[in-house]
A and B are shown apart, each in its own frame.
Chain A
Amino acid sequence: MATAARAEQARRFERLERLTQRRYLLLLAPAVLFLVIFYGYPVAAMLLRSFNDPAWGFGNFKPLTAARTPIEILGVSLPMNAYLRVIGITLQIAVGTTIATLLLGYPVAYALASMPMSRANLLMIFVLVPFWTSILVRTYAWMALLGTDGIVNEVLMGLRLIDQPATLLNTRGAVYVGMVHILLPFMILPLYAVMRGIDRNLMRAAENLGARPWQVFRSVFLPLSLPGVAAGCLLVFILALGFYITPSLLGGQRDIMISMLIQQQVVQLKWGFASALALVLLVISLIIYLVFVRVLGVQRIFGGGRR
């Protein structure tokens, strides 16, 4: 009889448990619904479009596989066309931008995280100010700075480092400068958040155990900041993949990114092909994401480190 009662109790407990869980799911429902309606459906429709517009099949992916201008690598002729090359350029720019923002952002985040909270909060404003200015304005500011008669050239010439204006604008370098400037906060913020969360006592413990400052950094701080590095890189990389205005305004002839081609096709109402290109971009983003998750573990990226 006692066992029956206990079993009954266990059942009741389980039911309660399930109910609680279901209630949590209910809390998620509005967000999920919102995403499904306003994000899931359009994306699915877009992806579908790449297979059925104007006709069912893989027609929209044909231009991607056409060997228009094959290139030779180590004696092997690889099929190549504008679309593949633009994907290559896009990846190149995104990787370069990510590395540059990491190299620039890491020391900044480190300095901010080492400061007293009050000062860090104050200085954080300088990191965030660019957030409050539109991308366009910032890009245009770079156009003014990097132009033939721009401030950079004027200073360089004033210092007699060069005697005629250097071509700074409309180059790959200008694209990097503009994109790094815009994306830097997206690197610094996750880095800073993770670094702030690192217990300073761990640093002291390491020192106490005999580690010199750089050893402390290498064997304790750096590994503990990796989740921030991963989150920042992922964020910057995926944002960079979709960049459009900055490369279009600051870049040279060949600095074409895939989103520019997508826009080109959308404007010409070739939506099927545009969707196919968008699908490629999405797949690249997903692959990169999965690689990050694989290598670093998703909970390390989004869980803010193991503590």
Chain B
Amino acid sequence: MTAKQSERAAHADRIGALGARVRFDQVEKQYPGGAANAVDGVSLDIAPGEFVTLLGPSGSGKTTTLMMLAGFETPTAGEIWVDDQAIAAVPPWRRNIGMVFQNYALFPHMTVGENIAFPLKLRGMPRDEVTRRTREALDLVGLPGYEGRYPRQLSGGQQQRIALARALVFNPRVLLMDEPLGALDKQLRERLQLEIKALHDQLGVTIIYVTHDQQEALVMSDRIAVMNLGQIEQIGGPGELYDEPASRFVASFIGESNFLDGRVTGFDDGLGVIEAPGVGMLRAPAHGGCAINSEVALTVRPEKIVFADELNGASANTIDAEIVTVIFVGEMHRYEARLGGGQTIVLKRQHRSGVGRCGRGDRVRLGWHVADGRLV
């Protein structure tokens, strides 16, 4: 082993243990011939060792953002930093960023062992070291002894794990994962979500994860960046996004939500008063974004809506409604109720017995605590 090789290996070890800080600064990408920017002014500061998920509908620019970080696309504007290095001029093969592709991109002509050893050999690692590290990587993803197989001899979940092992084996500072679980069935997906999460905790590598499955994002991430039309609509922890969506898009994209359209008529003790046609006057916490007479939507999560008699002391909004459907979804009942203005809202209630509280056609009075509503 040459001095240079050992130094390289040691360096890889050092940075891998830490994870890098990744910063996007007003990054834009317009594909040649593309009308709008695929990525449009994305700024994002990811701490070392953080798990950040890019969540958004198809075409919102998630992959493009990853590709620019990995070096396969060049930003048309802005700058990307890894630790304190601007990486625009660094070719992909020197970025030392691991990546798990959506379809795994395992080399079909190489065995599992060769696939995992590939990045190590390129780094000039001596053979016994390569063998050892390959074995360790396979242990890490729970597939010891699979060196001799070819990718086509593996199940989808196994291929996914090999792709993960290959992306991690060279101790990258950052790991990118583009919908890595998209092709797997629900059960396997949920198990691997937890495994990846555990690996992240164990290794401390910075992970940028792409998905359009909000459930997955909520389960795994430290922070979630919700993307839409190339822009980040909101970034925050899972709870923050769920409870305090900054926009109707975010509210609708993460979890289920009810929207009641109305107009701000005044303010009362830090609460905005809005008039919702056919529903009545409703109140919700005000924020800087709403002025008198502005058109807003009051959003409230289905599980926050209760039957009026369940409300306790805190100030609440109440509305009259007629139950349209009742569905028993296992852990709870899901009701759809029509309001005076003709709009429908959804509420979910958990009842001790499997029997619903009321049935189709019943006129009921519903309500929610003022603090549970949000103007967007």
List the interface of chain A (C-beta within 8 A of B): 199, 201-202, 204-212, 215, 219-220, 223-224, 305-307
Contacts and interface: CB of A to CB of B under 8 A. Distances in A.
B101 A209 contact: no
B109 interface: yes
Interface of A is mostly: helix
Nearest to A203: B105
B96 interface: yes
Contacts of A224: 108-109
B103 A201 contact: yes
A208 B96 CA distance: 7
Interface string B83-96: 00000000111111
A199 B96 CA distance: 22
Given A205-B105, A210-B96, 19 more contacts: A199-B105, A201-B101, A202-B105, A202-B107, A202-B108, A204-B72, A204-B99, A204-B105, A205-B99, A206-B118, A209-B93, A209-B122, A209-B167, A210-B122, A210-B170, A212-B93, A215-B122, A224-B109, A306-B152
B166 A305 contact: no
Given A201-B103, A306-B150, A211 B122 contact: yes
B101 A204 contact: yes
Nearest to B94: A210
Contacts of B105: 199, 201-202, 204-205
A226 to B, nearest CB: 8
A307 B152 CA distance: 7
B218 interface: no
A57 B166 CA distance: 64
A208 B70 contact: yes
B39 to A, nearest CB: 18
B123 interface: yes
Contacts, number: 69
B108 A206 contact: no
Nearest first, the 3 A-B pairs at minimum CB distance are A205-B105, A209-B119, A210-B122
Interface of B: 70-72, 91-99, 101-103, 105-109, 118-119, 122-123, 150, 152, 166-167, 170
B122 A205 contact: no
Nearest to B103: A201
A205 B109 CA distance: 14
A307 B122 CA distance: 23
A219 B114 CA distance: 11
13 contacts: A204-B70, A205-B99, A205-B106, A206-B118, A208-B71, A208-B72, A209-B122, A210-B119, A211-B118, A211-B122, A219-B118, A223-B109, A306-B109
Contacts of A210: 93-94, 96, 119, 122-123, 170
A26 to B, nearest CB: 31
A209 B70 contact: no
B108 A307 contact: yes
A206 B107 contact: yes
B99 A306 contact: no
Contacts of B170: 209-210
- Of the listed residues A206, A208, A212, A307, the one surrounded by the most CB atoms of chain B closer than 10 A to its CB is A208
Nearest to B99: A208
Contact of B108 (A207, A211, A305): A305
Contact of A209 (B103, B108, B118, B150): B118
